[in-house]
Structure 1
Amino acid sequence: MARPPPLKLPCDRPLPYLHDSLIDEILLRVPPHDPGRLVRCSAVCKLWRRHLTDPNFLGRYRAFHRVPPMLGFLFNLADGCFVVRFVRTTSFRPRTLDHAGCYVRDARHGRILFCNIISEKRGFHLFVWSPVTDERWGLYIPFPFYHFVAAVAVLCAKAAREGGCDCDHLNCHSGPFLVAFVATDEDGVTCGCVYSSETGAYSIMTCAQHPNGTEDMDTLDPVVLVGNRIYFPAGQSKTIVEYDLGRQKLAFLEPPPLPHQGHGILMPAMGGGLGFASVRESCLYMWSRETGSDRTAAIWTQSRVLELNTLPDCETALGFRESLMGEDVAVVGFAVGLDVIFLRTDVGVFTINRESGQVKKMTSIRPDLVFPYMSFYTPDHATG
């Protein structure tokens, strides 16, 4: 009996023509949290490659998704070994995962700020790194900050403008940036200044008497940018130092009245403004600083309490409930725009979405602090 002829599959037909605008609409919806998909789409054909590397399309793509994805997070390894580890949370892979001889100080607007322990060999006290482009910029700590423990922050240069900013921070990781310094000397005077990558110079020093005397800055805690003001936690009393970048003025704020176990951090409030999060007795307490027309009348209000032991112990968060029984539970980081809080427990670090309560385990290592790295990674930056 003769064999029947092979079936003609639909894939044997030529692909239908797609108008450029339709291709754009399809590619706009490729999720940014898996950059590998975008890279694979750019390899489909030359037309798609042109679309995915066109600056106009990429601007629309970032505006469509609005919040940069978290490509990974960093933390300092313990035991004084001075190694920073980059943990990937997506298919994005920077050229360098571990940074020896330094520790991470801040991460914001697509850049990461490191303190260089072996500056006599590398020549700079600090350096800024863009993992997407692998660009690096070095700078020195100015006098008198070199002699004191200083808190530092890196940010897009446009974020310091008075009355708002015309940058959406979706693609400014290669543009001009600022590094802000705040420290308190032995006489209890707090000083602040800003380095500009555009001028290569520091601003005029701003000084004010610290209300708690010679209290040192709590240098490794994450700092918070709200509008054009940076907030630094400081010392054992956790006095909050506000540095107004537009007016170049310092102010001092009291922390929330809630006592907390372990570690609490400053973070953006859900409704805007300054927030704070801490853990006590298996509950995550979130506070926001409500400011009226008169800024001196601002007070802390408890915005939410999340019962951690009632959150779902799903497949991506196995052992979460049991880990809350340990003594090492603390808030160690946050991801701006994603409403994600990093919580350290005895079995590792978990993320908690503060709106949905979704829990996910990120690593079995238990760092003191976590610095999320958020940025778009698109085919125009991909190599290989």
Structure 2
Amino acid sequence: MSMAAPPPRRRPSLPYELVEEILLRLPPDDPACLLRLSFACKAWGRAASQPGFRRRFIEQHQHRPPPLIGFLHNWEDERVPRFLSTTASPFSLPAPDRASWLALDCRHGRALFLSESEGSGAQQLLVWDLNTGIRRRIPVPPLHSSYVSPTAAVLCPADGCDHRDCNGGPFRVVFVFTVYRLQIMYAGLTSVCVYSSETGTWSGALKKISHRSDALKFTCHSSLLLGRSLLYFMSDRGFILEYDLTSNVLIGFETPDVNFDPIFNLMVAEDGGIGVSEGFSSHLKLWSREEGDAEWVISRVIDLQNLLPPAALVDAEAEVMVLGFAEGVNVIFVNTVAGLFTIELQSERVKKDLLPSIPSEDVGDEEGGEEDKTVDEAQQLLDKGSNTIKEGGFVDAVERVSHDLNAR
């Protein structure tokens, strides 16, 4: 009489400490990877959901630049915000009612939107915490009725913060607008005021600067932050504003003087100062501004024929459009006839075929609401992101007239 075979022995589970060490070493630039592995089994899910795991994960990667997760911009034809994921596992970025808001800025884990102007209704700003989903609506400061196409920047003001885990903390909004000076032909008056989340108020005194041009419109570019206090804004016509939050000083200057009508984009120069990029059919010019004589000089020329595939440069008359710059990681976004690419300026490494995602609407809570963090909703968000990537169209070459933002 034969004996029944013994049941197969279960493989021993990995020790909890080893599971945690594996998860801690996952790349931070692909958040969905950690989410997927946490669903692999209960033990892995428990390890990833421990109270101290988030802190240890941040500490593990604190010496690396904050990961670039995507590119937020206003779709040119529809004037609604869209999100381009740059991670290996695409996902959708929550967004407000896309028909009513324009994306202005994205920095330190927060996205900033401006409501569309509707008749006599007052416009609002919306600060969206990308980590918690909490939103805060801020009425724009009481302004002159003739201001046109304003812009704004959002940032974390906390001293010593590395901006890796400052969600829920204080923030500042710097609002920039221009009014016509009717008594002086071809002149405008541009002003800056600052909102503090800690006091819930706008600064009483407006910083102003006069300039010899029509009223400045800000519909094409997002802001640039240098260090902890220098903010730069570029108008549609290439006039640059520099605002120092520490000294409350506002100055203005022009982009490089060339013999045609170029389209520049703000960026950090190789020396750490203010710079601009300029796109051509086969190369990029990077400009920097010398501090001594305030002159613009060409600091570098990037030959795109060595970086991009031939299909991207097949049209010799089509200029490569620089759409934006990611602070902290020194990455620029360029649009070509073959699609959208990212270029790391230090290594000149290129990533191609970024796909657009239509942001989901009405995700997240107004400030003071309760945030539901269940595993089921997290999985639904991941699945929805994958589906919207497949359904989206592609950004076209005239994207230049829209705000181009970097979600970090």
Q: TM-score range, shorter-chain basis?
A: 0.7 to 0.9
Contact (CA 8 Å) 1:82, 1:103: kept in 2 or not?
yes
* Structure 1 match to 2:166: 172
* Structure 2 match to 1:64: 60
What letter is aligned with 1:137? R
What letter is aligned with 2:102? Y
CA distance in 1 between partners of 2:33 and 2:96 (Å): 21
Could you say what secondary structure the match of 1:99 adopts? coil
Contact (CA 8 Å) 1:342, 1:370: kept in 2 or not?
no
Could you say what secondary structure the match of 1:319 adopts? helix
Is structure 2 residue 321 aligned with structure 1 residue 330?
yes
Is structure 2 residue 27 aligned with structure 1 residue 27?
no
* Structure 1 match to 2:79: 82
For normalisation by structure 2, the TM-score amounts to 0.75
* Structure 2 match to 1:41: 37
The alpha carbon displacement at 1:126 in A equals 1.9
**Counterparts in 2 of 1:210 and 1:144: CA distance versus 1, 3 Å:** same
CA distance in 1 between partners of 2:46 and 2:145 (Å): 48
Contact (CA 8 Å) 1:328, 1:346: kept in 2 or not?
no
The alpha carbon displacement at 1:328 in A equals 4.8
CA distance in 2 between partners of 1:181 and 1:371 (Å): 17
2:176 paired residue among 172, 177, 182 = 182
The alpha carbon displacement at 1:357 in A equals 2.5
* Structure 1 match to 2:407: 374
Contact (CA 8 Å) 2:195, 2:202: kept in 1 or not?
yes
* Structure 2 match to 1:310: 306
The alpha carbon displacement at 1:297 in A equals 4.0
Is structure 2 residue 241 aligned with structure 1 residue 234?
no
1:137-152 superposed matches below 5 A: 137-144=136-143, 147-149=146-148, 150-152=150-152
The alpha carbon displacement at 1:117 in A equals 1.3
The alpha carbon displacement at 1:76 in A equals 1.6
* Structure 1 match to 2:195: 195
**Counterparts in 2 of 1:102 and 1:126: CA distance versus 1, 3 Å:** same
Is structure 2 residue 6 aligned with structure 1 residue 15?
no
* Structure 1 match to 2:112: 113
* Structure 1 match to 2:360: none
Higher relative contact order (Cα pairs below 8 Å, separated by 6+ residues): 2
Contact (CA 8 Å) 1:177, 1:197: kept in 2 or not?
yes
**Counterparts in 2 of 1:53 and 1:269: CA distance versus 1, 3 Å:** farther
Is structure 2 residue 365 aligned with structure 1 residue 365?
no
CA distance in 1 between partners of 2:144 and 2:171 (Å): 19
For normalisation by structure 1, the TM-score amounts to 0.79
What letter is aligned with 1:82? R
The alpha carbon displacement at 1:242 in A equals 0.8
CA distance in 2 between partners of 1:259 and 1:25 (Å): 58
- Please list the CA deviations of residues 338-380 of structure 1 after superposition, one character each: whole Å capped at 9, or x if unmatched: 32211122343222222232331224321224634434xxxxx
Is structure 2 residue 206 aligned with structure 1 residue 206?
yes
Number of equivalenced pairs: 353
The alpha carbon displacement at 1:276 in A equals 0.9
1:342 paired residue among 315, 333, 344 = 333
CA distance in 1 between partners of 2:330 and 2:203 (Å): 33
**Counterparts in 2 of 1:93 and 1:344: CA distance versus 1, 3 Å:** closer
Gapped runs of 5+ residues in structure 2? 182-187, 356-393
The alpha carbon displacement at 1:17 in A equals 3.3
CA distance in 2 between partners of 1:178 and 1:148 (Å): 21
- Please list the CA deviations of residues 270-292 of structure 1 after superposition, one character each: whole Å capped at 9, or x if unmatched: 4422121111342201122343x
**Counterparts in 2 of 1:286 and 1:41: CA distance versus 1, 3 Å:** same
Contact (CA 8 Å) 2:111, 2:407: kept in 1 or not?
no
CA RMSD of aligned residues (A): 3.2
